[in-house]
A and B are shown apart, each in its own frame.
Chain A
């Protein structure tokens, strides 16, 4: 049977083999919950740096009115935020933004 190379297959491999601290996992979950509450849908979780995973990125789409609140919480309350990128969708949806938040700090354990 060939290895599962889908995004969720890779994420499973990372979660299974990575020596994650409980606090790191909780930060990931909290960030995802926060995004969901701010209207970021669909929330997506991706392992980063395949094959050497060094972080996880959470991606989603958020309305302009929630953007400031979301970024404030992510930047202030999620201590392992390694990067945030915001892309305006532009015309015809100027009120919608795609947000990618990268959480680092997994380190070399997550192979």
Chain B
């Protein structure tokens, strides 16, 4: 089992093993999921210009990033996806897509087979629960069909599950289902209380006990499926962070920006649907925006961010680290969600905004 942050091969800073650029090319989606962190849905129309996306991919590869990960919105509704995937492959990057599976027909899968390394299918639980969360009576059948198409095409795939205070009880079912479908990965990502979840998921928020139960169940599940199904739980334990603060960029080493390659300073950057480039996760405070691909290249924006503002970013992470480590702090937590929340509420963000306005 992999737990976020318990990764012995981590390079220099951050919880991610492989330097990754995550792209949300559109917020358009055919579904209106109850837990959607980005408020995606059929109403959204805007999408990133494919030329800018391709330029960003080329720049990311030149900077040393190794994976481009597509999310959304529903990325298969992005008109430029085929071109952008081909561009990523040409640049030598590995590619992953997170999708609800609706549009993975045999012909679409055949087209993707040359340019996608891994597809993650969103799965909320057994049929009734999945369909309820997705607001569609056909959603579960679509996932099953997508898995069949991917299996037959030989494209590695996994399932990504939004873990809630209700769904930890389905973890055994989820692992069994994923294994039966031939998946190689089951990723469990705790519900984030943002986006549509704020209005519709309050009753099933994770509490400390449900996260602990999920953690223990994952240990048992990982044992059963060892070697065939990788279980990834996106939780960090406070002891792990205390022992390895570099996992949360909290090891007081902002100077690495002057001596290390960008991916070693910031292992995950995110391109949001409005073109903003932010560190770590979608929703990160715009006060720490690295740039915008609509108006500048990643190759220029990221080095500038690392030179000028990386120190403040690291100070923000250190500030949150100290808050987490304070007596009475949480035992298990979704570090990504925490740092996004922190970035939006810290006084450092206000100071950064003032600096940004002045410049």
CB-CB under 8 A from B169, the residues of chain A are 12, 16
Asked if B331 and A30 make an inter-chain contact with CB atoms under 8 angstroms apart, the answer reads: yes
CB-CB under 8 A from A37, the residues of chain B are 6, 239-240, 243
- Complex Cα distance, B215 from A9, in Å, reads 14
Q: Secondary structure of the A side of the interface?
A: helix
Which residue on chain A has the smallest CB distance to residue B226?
A42
- Residue interface mask A6-18, B partner, CB < 8 A = 1: 1111011001100
- Complex Cα distance, B224 from A32, in Å, reads 17
CB-CB under 8 A from B219, the residues of chain A are 32, 43-45
- Complex Cα distance, B171 from A4, in Å, reads 13
Which residue on chain B has the smallest CB distance to residue A35?
B219
The verdict on B296 contacting chain A, using a C-beta distance below 8 Å, is: no
Asked if A29 and B217 make an inter-chain contact with CB atoms under 8 angstroms apart, the answer reads: no
Which residue on chain B has the smallest CB distance to residue A24?
B212
| CB-CB under 8 A for A20 and B209, given A29-B216, A30-B237, A45-B219 | yes
- Complex Cα distance, B172 from A36, in Å, reads 22
The verdict on A26 contacting chain B, using a C-beta distance below 8 Å, is: yes
- Complex Cα distance, B252 from A68, in Å, reads 31
Report the count of interface residues on B (CB-CB < 8 A): 27
Report the count of interface residues on A (CB-CB < 8 A): 27
Asked if A44 and B208 make an inter-chain contact with CB atoms under 8 angstroms apart, the answer reads: no
CB-CB under 8 A from B240, the residues of chain A are 33, 37
CB-CB under 8 A from B175, the residues of chain A are 8
| CB-CB under 8 A for A28 and B239, given A8-B220, A12-B171 | no
Asked if A11 and B239 make an inter-chain contact with CB atoms under 8 angstroms apart, the answer reads: no
CB-CB under 8 A from B216, the residues of chain A are 11, 15, 25, 28-29, 32, 45, 56
The verdict on A34 contacting chain B, using a C-beta distance below 8 Å, is: yes
Asked if A29 and B212 make an inter-chain contact with CB atoms under 8 angstroms apart, the answer reads: yes
- Docked complex: B165-187 residues within 8 A CB-CB of A: 169, 171-172, 175
- Which residue in B172, B221, B226, B237 is a CB contact (below 8 Å) of A29? B237
* Contacts A/B (CB < 8 Å), 23 sampled: A4-B172, A7-B223, A7-B224, A8-B223, A9-B172, A11-B220, A12-B172, A12-B217, A15-B217, A20-B209, A25-B208, A25-B216, A26-B208, A26-B212, A28-B216, A29-B332, A32-B215, A32-B219, A33-B237, A33-B239, A36-B3, A37-B240, A43-B219
